[in-house]
Amino acid sequence: MLFSGTSGWAYPSWKPEFYPAKLPATKFLPFYAGRLNSVEVNYTFRRLASEALLRKWIAATPPGFRFAVKANQAITHIRRLRDADEACSRFLASIEPLHNAGRLAPVLLQLPPNLKFDGDLLQNFLRTWPSALRTTVEFRHESWFCEGTYRILRQHNVALCHAVTESLETPPVATADFAYLRYRKNDYAPADREKLTARVANSLGPGDVFVYFKHEDTPSGTSWAEHLLKTFPAPSPAP
């Protein structure tokens, strides 16, 4: 199944093209969830979400809606995956309401751009990371794009995050039974859009595919997310 959305939803600048002009901010998430079926939460990178906040998000969205969450910076940027047990425990405990409600999409581990390939570091970290969570890793240094990385990810069924930015594009290598794609450009030429759609089509199969577009001053990311959901509609349930 395809889950498609944007990185965040709380953007008044999306009025009136996406959100109605008079829609209060407290109604943004229910409106968003009425048109898209997932969102990537960057909030959790800076701070741990409270149980009350997550339950509020769950109540504001339909049962099929999923929240992808970015791992806290204490894990990826402060500890840099090393000796991060305490940071991991705190973060994982904070997202339990989403997991227990069946509303958690993959957890995104976004590594710093200056963290270079270290196979032992990645292997040791993933050995202690809970295998029950769908997890994806976004590498932002080219040295990680090698068979050593892909082999470790496959051992743990962790997805290589396919990220497309203005300066870097992750190789389209599958390492898990689901796919996670992040599109971070400000705009896409027609050829880029065809490539994007083909990449999603190639990723669809027995596993889920999660696609998120960069939030911008304009809601163009929501348009692309909706376009994909219309292009690849969910199959109808069996009678």
Predicted local distance difference test score (pLDDT) of residue 182: 95
- 68 in Cβ contact with 39 (< 8 Å): yes
Domain edges within the chain: 2-231
| Displacement of CA 168 from its chain's centroid (Å) | 17
CATH of domain 2-231: 3.20.20.410
| pTM metric for this prediction | 0.93
- 141 in Cβ contact with 165 (< 8 Å): no
How many whole angstroms separate alpha carbon 82 and alpha carbon 122? 9
Digit-coded pLDDT (tens) for 36-87: 999 999 999 999 999 999 999 999 999 999 999 999 999 999 999 999 999 9
